[in-house]
Chains A and B, each alone.
Chain A
Amino acid sequence: MKKCTCLKSNSRSGPGDGGKTGSWRVLRPVLDESRCIPAKTGKKACFSCWLYCPDGVVSRTIPPKIDITYCKGCGICAQQCPTGAIEMVEETVLAKEEEE
């Protein structure tokens, strides 16, 4: 008797189902640590960027770190930062800088 093949659609957890979604970005969030409350004070505080990121790619660390492999560049973190410490910068500008 032949053995059952029983193929199923079972998916296991892993990052990047949508690929390296950082490639979606037109604008990249850049953190100015001199304006960032936890970075300035060295204390656990604010972290609005961590709270409001829809993709969870901001770490709740001092300072917060943004995972640019996956950050989609929505700009919510920049909008929600109470001190304006995050600036959304054109990827093309940053790419040029990185080249140089």
Chain B
Amino acid sequence: MSVQTTILNLPEEELVQPGNRACSGCGLGLIYRTALKALGEKTILVVPPSCLTVLQGVHPVAATKLPCLNVVFASTAAAATGVVAAMRARKKDDVTVVAFAGDGGTSDIGIQALSGACERGDDFIYICYDNEAYMNTGVQRSGTTPKGALTTTTPYVGKAQASKNVPAIIAAHGIEYVATASAAYPIDLYDKVKKAMSHKGVRYIHVHTPCPAGWGFDAQYTIKIGQLAVESGMYDLYEIENGVKKLTGPSSKLLTKNRVPVKDFLSTQVRFKALKKEDAEALQAQTEAKWEAYKAEFSTQ
């Protein structure tokens, strides 16, 4: 029987250096710090242009203690494939290869390479930290920007389209392990990274990443807002292991517990201030419909 992860038994060692260039209160900072504790030192990272590139440091100082390959935007999953192939060629089978990309680099420009890698069954973990826009270049809309959100390229009235459901797209490739997680629930994320490490082929984890600068809230609320996203039922924590989907952590509790109103999450961020009343109500209705369906789907959970 495996030991439950708690704050006390999480690895203490930091594999990220302090004094890095991440924004104050950055959701990615917590995701990265936590994921690296799960992955450990026998890891090679692959990182496309994104906030993480900057967090990891400007030449010649690295804020990451792990070996890392910076790659061009569209190529993350293909590069991870290449590192895995080299590890095989060099008979270094105990090295974990991890692609760590943002939502833009995953759902938009990077999706072709990721799809190819999933289909080929290349052996690496892909972590997408989703702050729901191209944050590194100044908050432009991406495929995962939610409907109604203000960004610099969806100004005044907000994004017209709903966000792309990337985990579902990746799950449709039939890979062994797909999970969603959140910066606000680091222990759940840690467990999912650990579980991903025990699987083969591409393993995909999509992590909701509150961003104070891009979403428009004070940095101290990063965790609280991330928790509201989950507790309102708008963002779900789940894993799909060998095709079987299961809600995890606070999301599984929502099957029987009351959800926080969606507007309590939306009202915390400047990016939703242009959202019309009827659109907010529609989001509430959609969330409720989704959870009605979940109750039937996960009745035996």
Contacts and interface: CB of A to CB of B under 8 A. Distances in A.
Report if A and B touch in the complex (beta carbons < 8 A).
yes
Interface of A: 9-21, 24, 44-48, 50-57, 60, 67, 69-70, 72-76, 78-80, 88
A70 B212 CA distance: 19
A56 B29 CA distance: 9
Contacts, number: 117
B8 A13 contact: no
Nearest to A56: B14
A12 B7 CA distance: 30
> Does more than half of chain A's interface fall in helix, strand or loop, or is it mixed?
loop
Given A73-B24, A79-B220, A57 B60 contact: no
B64 A13 contact: yes
B222 A54 contact: yes
Contacts of B12: 60
A86 B224 CA distance: 16
B51 to A, nearest CB: 12
Contact of A55 (B18, B58, B220, B221): B18
A76 B59 CA distance: 29
Contact of B19 (A12, A15, A47, A79): A15
30 contacts: A10-B59, A11-B60, A13-B61, A13-B65, A14-B61, A17-B17, A17-B58, A17-B61, A20-B19, A21-B19, A21-B20, A47-B8, A48-B7, A51-B7, A51-B187, A54-B25, A55-B16, A55-B20, A55-B22, A55-B33, A56-B16, A56-B18, A69-B18, A70-B18, A70-B19, A72-B23, A72-B25, A74-B222, A78-B220, A79-B220
Q: Which 7 A-B pairs have the closest CB atoms?
A: A54-B29, A75-B220, A74-B25, A16-B19, A70-B18, A72-B24, A18-B21
Contacts of B62: 11-14, 17
Contact of B20 (A10, A17, A74): A17
Contacts of A74: 24-25, 212, 219-220, 222
> Does more than half of chain B's interface fall in helix, strand or loop, or is it mixed?
loop
Interface in B11-49: 12, 14, 16-30, 33
Interface of B: 7-8, 10, 12, 14, 16-30, 33, 57-65, 186-187, 212, 218-224
Contacts of A19: 19
A74 to B, nearest CB: 3
Contacts of B33: 54-56
Nearest to A57: B18
A63 to B, nearest CB: 15
B287 to A, nearest CB: 25
Given A11-B59, A17-B63, A74-B25, 4 more contacts: A14-B61, A17-B21, A52-B30, A55-B33
A74 B27 CA distance: 11
Nearest to B183: A54
B222 A14 contact: no
Contacts of B16: 55-56
Given A20-B19, A56-B18, A76 B223 contact: yes
A12 B222 contact: no
Nearest to A8: B59
A13 B14 contact: no
B25 A15 contact: no
Contacts of B224: 79
Given A73-B24, A80-B223, A88-B220, A13 B30 contact: no
Nearest to B222: A76
